[in-house]
Amino acid sequence: MPRTAPSVEELEAQERRLVFRQFTYDDAWALGSLLVELARERRAPVAIDIHRAGQQLFHAALPGSTPDNDVWIARKRRVVERYGAASYLVGARFRAKGTTFEDSSRLDPGTYAAHGGSFPLTVENVGVIGSVTVSGLPQVEDHRLVVAALEQFLKV
């Protein structure tokens, strides 16, 4: 039985819960490697990206992924950078208002995508410092894969 998409409230609760005390280069490698491991277990044809302060700290492309996944990663990451919230949450907030991101954001959909898969890297007492992004699955599954990795990494 398919699970229902998470609500805006559930998505906001994930962001409040999945916060780092710090985020280092080593953390980026460990989180990215964990995502690769989880994706391989699921045979997920994804690309994975971790950015911090404009610098790519991790990238992996697994079998079945394509260059299009990298384009989607960039578009979803830009939503996190602009809104300081998960790309899936941003899209859900627009849908909750009875519209879509594409119709109401006034942003170029070729540059921004409020689709699931990019999650903010938030550090306690600092704020959003980057993003972790997955592309290659249906958007809710991209989002769930990132959340699963963050929960395991942060042990929450």
3-class SS string, the chain: CCCCCCCHHHHHHHHHHCCECCCCHHHHHHHHHHHHHHHHHCCCCCEEEEEECCEEEEEEECCCCCHHHHHHHHHHHHHHHHHCCCHHHHHHHHHHCCCCHHHHCCCCCCCCCCCCCEEEEEECCCEEEEEEEEECCCHHHHHHHHHHHHHHHHCC
Residue at 81 is within a domain: yes
Number of structural domains the chain divides into? 1
| Residues 83-139 pLDDT 10s | 999 999 999 999 999 999 999 999 999 999 999 999 999 999 999 999 999 999 999
Q: How does pLDDT run across 33-83, given as a tens digit for each residue?
A: 999 999 999 999 999 999 999 999 999 999 999 999 999 999 999 999 999
Q: The CATH number of the domain where 47 resides is what?
A: 3.30.450.150
Burial-class residue 14 by CB neighbours within 10 Å (0-12, 13-18, 19+). Answer: buried
Q: Is residue 3 part of a domain?
A: no
The pLDDT assigned to 92 comes to 97
- Please state the pTM of the whole predicted model: 0.96
pLDDT at 1 over 60: no
Domain carrying residue 30: 8-154
Q: Is residue 2 part of a domain?
A: no
Residue 107 lies in a domain: yes
